[in-house]
Chains A and B, each alone.
Chain A
Amino acid sequence: MIEGIEIKNLVKKFRKDIVLDDISFNIEPEKIYGLLGRNGAGKSTLMNIIADRKFSNHGSVTLDGITIHDNDEQLSRIYLTSEVDVYPDRFKIKDMFSWIADIYKEFDYDLCKKLSSEFKLNEDSKFGNLSTGYNSIVKAIVALCVPADYIFLDEPILGLDAKNRDVFYNALIQTYSDRPRTFVISTHIIEEIANIISDVIVIKDSKVLINDSTESLLKSSYEVTGPAAEVDRYTEGLNIIGSESLGKIKSNYIFGDLNDKPIPDTVTISNIDLQKLFVNLTDRE
């Protein structure tokens, strides 16, 4: 039995468009994942299927070997916060917290109060009257306080200002260290989560392109810079995922192992950051 969430041969179609094409991977316990992909890659659809809010056309999703679909016990271990508002607009925030705390026996009410105060959230406001930023804040607070083992955050920082994003990341790290559980974060602001996530899942063309640890990915990604001719000569035969030129200076981005050729004096090699790696990987035809 595989511990964690196992996604097996998942297919999702919207009429003729294939959004997820026979994808299989595992989400392991107590890790923080970054789920990356360009707009329309199928990230939200994938998370909705895992949380049993949407149905797949084919394939299965299991948690610790038991199917998630229509299973109260397994579903209560998964929490998804997405752009879709699932809470009644008429609810006051404090009432909403209270109802959720009523459903989840071990809802962290103290943390909820602490975060509300840190975010300067007015709990007497109605959910439907919140700005985009505060809408995201409320959902993020709930996600951090529910006692689920697998938390899926779809665009959790949508509309949040820099200060509130900082509060959110700090709270995420703090709650993770207090009670390790799995977080799957889907966002387009990769540079901000690069230091938080331990693993990366990249979806491209309806398939899982990469599912590896952040450390291992960054270790095998390089930027080779120097005069164009020498850079091209050195990187010949390597897995070039992208390149940039400025005058006669050229940078080739490599994903994978370097060769044993001697490095020319005019050429420099450095590791690239996650955002650059993602842009180049997903930009490639």
Chain B
Amino acid sequence: MHLKLKKYLVHSYVNITFWVFFFFLLLFWLLPIIFHILTGSFTFSDIFTGVSSDFITAALGVSLIIVTLFNNTNFRFAMSNGISRKSYWKTRMFLLTAFVLITRIVSFIIKLIEEPYVFAGRGNFIPRVLTTEFSFFSYFNNSTLNFLMSFFLSLLVTLCSIYFFMAFNNFYLMFTKKMRRIIVFAIIALVIAVPFMIGMFFAYLEYMGGNALAVSMGKFILSIFGLNLVKDGMYFNPILFAFDMIIIDIFLAFLSYKFNSKIQVYKD
């Protein structure tokens, strides 16, 4: 890892996070207050309603996505100043993982302060009709274990999405400007097509083996991720889910490394 680059990237990420918070404040705090004032419905409590715990978690999440996806400038800066692709990837990987850790810690501290009851032990059963999010944080009959496990799972899931964006961003940067446009179009087409493709796949299963085959296939896919469907809901195996997520995280990190090693500096 390159220590000097680390300082530069931290500065860049803090800068982006600052501006994301600034625009979030503008959109979700200042503007509503202005609207309240303009429409004559302003009350003193409006000052406090905008900045909630969700606000901080969402702003951190958006910052994380932006620092992951807007990477080309930093990559060019590093490359032009004698830093290898390998060092750049290592430094970025370390910082983004640390960033994810910080966002998760902040999010779980807020959760612990605002809704500590979600970690209460209720077993690993998730009822079919979900009216609360309690079950997502409840796997064991011990609230401390539930807190630690849900924090760990949340960390793995967030890392998965960040490593995915990293891999995608590095893949995108491998190509010239012209090819990048084609990739964006292809992705938009895929985003639209994938739900149809899944639908078609299940329609095919129904045609071949009736409803039972489609349901058992759905159950099988979910079971890979530790979700076992029963009549009244589902049982969740957090250990299996964590194991799957670790494998996916490692795979995505490896992909991002491979794509990163193929990026060239193009004239834009």
Contact = CB atoms under 8 A, between A and B. Distances in A.
B73 interface: yes
Contact of B261 (A48, A70, A72, A102): A70
Interface string A188-216: 00000000000000000000000000000
B84 A72 contact: yes
B80 A77 contact: no
B82 A78 contact: yes
Interface string B228-268: 00000000000000000000000000000000011011111
Given A86-B76, A87-B77, A52 B7 contact: no
A79 B82 contact: yes
Interface string A99-113: 110111000000000
A70 B85 CA distance: 6
A102 B4 contact: yes
Contacts of A100: 81
B82 A99 contact: no
A72 B8 contact: no
A52 B84 contact: yes
B264 A55 contact: yes
A148 B82 contact: yes
A164 B267 CA distance: 26
Contacts of A148: 82
Interface string B176-188: 0000000000000
A140 interface: no
B265 A54 contact: yes
A83 interface: yes
Nearest to A49: B264
Interface string A69-108: 0111001111110011011100000000001101110000
B81 A84 contact: no
Interface residues of A, number: 26
B87 interface: yes
B36 interface: no
A99 B8 contact: yes
Nearest to B74: A88
B8 A103 contact: yes
A53 interface: yes
A53 B8 contact: no
B2 interface: yes
Contacts of B268: 84
B82 A86 contact: no
A54 B86 contact: no
B23 to A, nearest CB: 16
A273 B180 CA distance: 46
A88 B85 CA distance: 18
B264 A103 contact: no
B81 A103 contact: yes
A266 B3 CA distance: 71
Contacts of B81: 79, 100, 103-104, 146
Contacts of B80: 53, 80, 86-87
Given A70-B86, A72-B2, A75-B84, A88 B77 contact: yes
A102 B82 contact: no
> Which of B8, B81, B266 has its CB near the most chain A CB atoms (within 10 A)?
B81
A102 B264 contact: no
Contact of A53 (B4, B79, B262): B79
6 contacts: A48-B265, A70-B86, A72-B86, A76-B82, A79-B82, A102-B8
Interface of A: 48, 52-55, 70-72, 75-80, 83-84, 86-88, 99-100, 102-104, 146, 148
